[in-house]
Structure 1
Amino acid sequence: MLVETTIHDQAWGQQGYKGLQSIQDEYGVDIYFKEGIKSYSQTIQAVDHLVNKGVNIIFGHSNIYGKHFQQLHKQYPDVQFIYFNGQFTAENVTSLNFSANAMGFFAGMVAGKMTEADLIGIIASFEWQPEVEGFYEGVMYQNPEADVHIAYTNSWENTDKARMLYEQMEEEGADVFYPAGDIFNVPVINEVQKDGHYAIGYVSDQSSVAENTVLTSTVQKVDVVYNLAMDRYVEGELPGKPLTFDFQDGAIKLGEYSPEIPESFQKQMDDLIEQYMKTGKLPNE
């Protein structure tokens, strides 16, 4: 596995490592990972090193690896390359995608319910993140009177910029925050807790970071998706096209609810998610 940041981020990288470990447990294979692999030259060097160790399946744990694998996959026809959140595929390249709009929508509903100021702040990494648009739509569905301020760090790990954006939004009066990034989301949640506001966790269930502060989390079960992909690889059924996973696949869920959320609303949310799993339609559709 190639990781753009680190496996110790309590978010995306850590979830990837758990996925890698689950494959090791399930199949008894040797696993390797390399952190801080960002550029094409670093990817080429890492792939070459892993292939020389006998590796024949490589997970690129980020969308950046799509363009890297697009350039190098023909040099390694016996290696299966798998990466996240992209559209490029080939005979030996598969893209795994989370249908993140829905998880953002339901978390946005929670934020829209719990804001008292009718002002919510999203501190995201990149404009392309589907969970951000879904979150906005969920807020608007639940609370049409609310305003949502959105700002981007253009990085998964720029904690200083994320904190600065949080401070600006907090000064403007926002009282619920969605820090949708890998390295910076826990530091931002810690700031939110200090200031007595609410937050939505990202990628992993972050209720343990601050139980009352974290209303819920948009959880991506990377270990489930890794195992689904590995199962298809072993069975020779990787399709060479983008694969998408959602609530129905057990790949996405909302995390634990904060005890601050009324139980009646928790039940309402669970019912809406169950309905979505049956119909594939969000409440606003």
Structure 2
Amino acid sequence: MKRLSLKAIQAFVAVLLVALLATGCGGGNEDPAASQADNEKLKVGFVYIGPVNDAGWTQAHDEARKYLMAELPYVDASDYVENVPENPTEAERVITQLVEQGNKIIFTTSFGYMDPTIKVAQKYPDVTFLHCSGYQTAPNVGAYFGRMYQARYLSGLVAGKATKTNLIGYVAAMPIPEVIRGINAFTLGVQKVNPDAQVKVVWTNTWVDAAIEKDAAIALLDAGADVIAQHQDSASPQQAAEEAGKFGIGYNSDMSKMAPKATMTSPVWNWGPYYVDTVKAIKEGTWQSTLTAGSLTYWGGLKEGTVDLAPFGPMVSEEVKQLVEQERERIVSGEWDVFTGPIKDQSGAVKVAEGQVMTDDEILNMNWFVQGVVGSVE
């Protein structure tokens, strides 16, 4: 019998070891498909009301989407759909499409998406949905927003100090509590520094339509307003103010880039940290849709950094900047909040007694205007 050489034996052993490893020798039962799944990224989808370059609401969310991917390398948030109308059928179709594309977490970022989000969520219990600015929740649906009224109040201080005609125009989207409480907070800031000033509201009944928003701003300027504030997604009200040689208060993101001679500051959103914290909690299995503020899962403010003011323009004095900082500290420290009495409504009736603080539920469902607002909630 022919004896094998040492080299041949070594080659045989090497082949045997490779074969054993390939068949899972040593007690391993790893499933190649499972291994591949572990390496797949967590897909997160977004639904937007406007374009990602609107310099406003949608852009603020889209910047946060990019922040999410930068902070969490295991996340793929490349699926987003722009310009989705608040039509129940269309919104439901888009949300469903994102689910079918494999997204396990979906953020729907406008009030009108609430009912479609809840409806789709019932069909896909293994997917987590987060709806912005609404109030309905479910085991796999959270509702999130920010205490923008705090930043609105601070911007009202700036506007109240700037007006010479004592008439400030406010281009407003929809007559819903979200917008109404923002107008009220802004007006409380205005009247703190200028009790003679009034805030005149014009409703556009649209979140984003640059032409309609600009026409509304022009009408307010023609009525004598010399500062234009807004709850709208485009910068066209600020541009109208600049063209008229007046000042403005933007919204959503820093609108001074669009109207540098007019925009004194803008209440702005910073959704990035919230998105990161939420996605991490969902992945780790610690997220719950339990209510923490009225009917919201999350409601962060100045303290959490969810809302803030954009940098001041050169037309804002140091005196005003210091006043804003003082009021900010009162809010962040918890010493005081915006809707603390005494607060009167348009008729002069006391709605919040002196020393009383409105509850989160009362603030979230606000449907009346404070004294100093000119206009109707309808």
TM-score interval for Structure 1 and Structure 2 normalised by the shorter chain: over 0.9
Give the deviation of 1:249 after TM superposition.
Answer: 0.5
Partners in 2 of 1:173 and 1:193 — Cα distance? 15
Match of 2:71 among 22, 26, 34: 26
CA contact (8 A) 2:165 2:226 kept: yes
Q: Which one scores higher on RCO, CA 8 angstroms, separation ≥ 6?
A: 1
Q: Does 2:339 correspond to 1:273?
A: no
Partners in 2 of 1:115 and 1:127 — Cα distance? 25
Give the deviation of 1:280 after TM superposition.
Answer: 5.3
Q: Does 2:114 correspond to 1:66?
A: yes
- After superposition, the Cα gap between the structure-2 partners of 1:43 and 1:280, relative to the gap in structure 1 and judged at 3 Å, is farther
The match for 1:57 is: 105
When normalised by structure 1's length, the TM-score is 0.94
Q: Deviations over 1:47-79 (max 9, x none)?
A: 332222211000001111211112221100111
Structure 1: give runs of 5+ residues left out of the alignment. none
Q: Which amino acid aligns with 1:197?
A: K
CA RMSD of aligned residues (A): 1.6
What are the equivalent positions in structure 2 for 1:1-285 lying under 5 Å apart?
A: 1-28=46-73, 29-31=75-77, 32-38=79-85, 39-128=87-176, 129=179, 130-183=181-234, 186-240=235-289, 241=291, 242=296, 243-279=298-334, 281-282=336-337, 285=340
Q: Which amino acid aligns with 2:148?
A: A
CA contact (8 A) 2:267 2:308 kept: yes
SS of alignment partner, residue 202 of structure 1:
coil
Give the deviation of 1:223 after TM superposition.
Answer: 2.0
Query: Identical aligned pairs, as a percentage?
Result: 24
Give the deviation of 1:228 after TM superposition.
Answer: 2.8
SS of alignment partner, residue 36 of structure 1:
coil
Give the deviation of 1:284 after TM superposition.
Answer: 7.2
Structure 2: give runs of 5+ residues left out of the alignment. 1-45, 341-378
Partners in 1 of 2:217 and 2:321 — Cα distance? 27
Q: Which has the larger radius of gyration?
A: 2
Partners in 2 of 1:206 and 1:163 — Cα distance? 14
When normalised by structure 2's length, the TM-score is 0.71
- After superposition, the Cα gap between the structure-2 partners of 1:280 and 1:204, relative to the gap in structure 1 and judged at 3 Å, is farther
Give the deviation of 1:283 after TM superposition.
Answer: 6.4
Give the deviation of 1:105 after TM superposition.
Answer: 1.0
SS of alignment partner, residue 33 of structure 1:
strand
Question: What stretches of structure 1 move > 4 A for 4+ residues in a row?
Answer: none
